[in-house]
């Protein structure tokens, strides 16, 4: 359990280990800060500690304009646009662009399609559709190597609308159709051990 004395001492020392763990509210100013805030340390009798920025705001305190406690570490706002890109990647990995377009994905994230594309280019140097295609091809390649499914079935499981699209993607990326990739996988000795 965090004691008042420990929290106040961490605030007095501006200990970065406590940043995002506790928030310091000063009753005389009505402002709450991060423990690393460079402001003059207030008297202990004028201070309250909260476990979250939301709790401090609920108690009626405003965020400090110097240390921006509402963007403390572990808050999505702290990571900035990386959070949006990470959420989009998670949705794409779960098939959000299989049979849907970027506008629908962006709408699900609460932003515009152009903004989402800009964020992807800024953080990943690729568009959302390029990332989705890469993930589909990777899924298809794993299925080709690990299963005996037909190319048509693999295309469906990987998120491709048809076997033709899967074949075109493989030819563009690897210079050969999926069936040739499977033949290569079959001709190599099997290293995997499967539980029976």
Catalytic residue among 22, 24, 47, 67: 67
- Is 75 one of the catalytic residues? no
Catalytic residue among 22, 26, 56, 64: 64
Catalytic residue among 22, 33, 85, 105: 33
Q: What gap in Å lies between CA 192 and CA 164, rounded to an integer? A: 30
Q: What gap in Å lies between CA 41 and CA 99, rounded to an integer? A: 56
Detail the DSSP E strand segments found in 51-95.
62-63
Q: What are phi and psi of 22, to 5 degrees?
A: -130, 160
Mapped onto helix, strand or coil, the DSSP state of residue 23 is strand
Q: Count Cβ atoms within 10 A of the Cβ of residue 57 and give its class: 0-12 exposed, 13-18 middle, 19 or more buried.
A: middle
- Is 37 one of the catalytic residues? yes
Work out the number of other CB atoms within 10 angstroms of the CB of residue 73.
12
Q: What are phi and psi of 31, to 5 degrees?
A: -120, 145
Catalytic residue among 21, 24, 25, 37: 37
Q: What gap in Å lies between CA 185 and CA 136, rounded to an integer? A: 18
* Catalytic positions, written as ranges: 33, 37, 64, 67
């Amino acid at each position: 359990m965090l004691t008042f004395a420990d929290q106040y001492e961490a605030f007095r020392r501006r200990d970065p280990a406590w940043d995002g763990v506790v928030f310091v509210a000063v009753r005389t100013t009505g402002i709450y800060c991060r423990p690393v805030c460079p402001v003059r340390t207030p008297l202990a009798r004028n201070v309250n500690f909260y476990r979250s920025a939301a709790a401090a705001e609920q108690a009626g305190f405003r965020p400090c304009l110097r240390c921006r406690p509402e963007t403390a570490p572990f808050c999505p706002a702290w990571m900035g646009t990386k959070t949006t890109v990470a959420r989009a990647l998670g949705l794409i990995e779960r098939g959000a662009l299989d049979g849907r377009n970027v506008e629908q994905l962006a709408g699900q994230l609460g932003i515009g399609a152009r903004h989402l594309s800009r964020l992807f280019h800024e953080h990943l140097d690729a568009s959302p559709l390029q990332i989705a295609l890469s993930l589909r091809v990777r899924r298809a390649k794993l299925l080709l190597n690990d299963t005996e499914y037909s190319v048509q079935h693999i295309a469906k499981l990987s998120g491709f609308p048809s076997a033709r699209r899967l074949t075109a993607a493989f030819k563009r990326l690897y210079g050969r159709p999926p069936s040739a990739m499977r033949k290569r996988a079959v001709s190599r000795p099997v290293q995997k051990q499967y539980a029976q």
